Amino acid sequence: MSKRRRTPQMVHAEWRQRLRNALRLALSMLAVMLGAGVLGYHYLVGLPWIDALLNASMILGGMGPIDPIRNDAGKLFASAYALVSGLVFVAVCGVLVAPFAHRFLHRFHAELEDE
């Protein structure tokens, strides 16, 4: 049985869809982490909403906290949030690079052989 040949337009449309899906996933991951950080900084650290957003954004972006944390629960949360934010940053980078890497491998016809 012969394989049906796909046109360049079909391949490009598939790649655009793969890129859109990667962007949606990356933005969703960032939104969930930012929301968790804002809630944690507001309720556990006791910061106002806007300061909680600022701190969560700075930690998620890799810059570091803005406001000092005075209670133990807040310090434990900030520590865990900073560690998880670093992992999420690496995961988001991987998700965003994946469609380009996939396209790059196709350029060299690096496909798996059918058994």
Tens place of pLDDT per residue across the chain (115 aa): 455 666 766 777 888 898 999 999 999 999 999 999 999 999 999 999 999 999 999 999 888 888 889 999 999 999 999 999 999 999 999 999 998 888 888 777 755 565 5
pLDDT in the model for residue 4: 63
CA-CA distance, 80 to 77, in Å (whole number)? 5
| Closest to 81 in 3D by CA, of 30, 33, 26 | 33
Please state the pTM of the whole predicted model: 0.78
Question: Contact, 96 vs 20, CB < 8 A?
Answer: no
In a 13 Å sphere around the CA of 100, the CA atoms on its Cβ side amount to 6
Q: Please report which residue ranges of the chain form alpha helices under DSSP H.
A: 8-40, 49-60, 72-107
- Topology given in CATH for the domain delimited by 26-107: Helix Hairpins (1.10.287)
Q: Which residue bears the tokens 């650290």?
A: 45
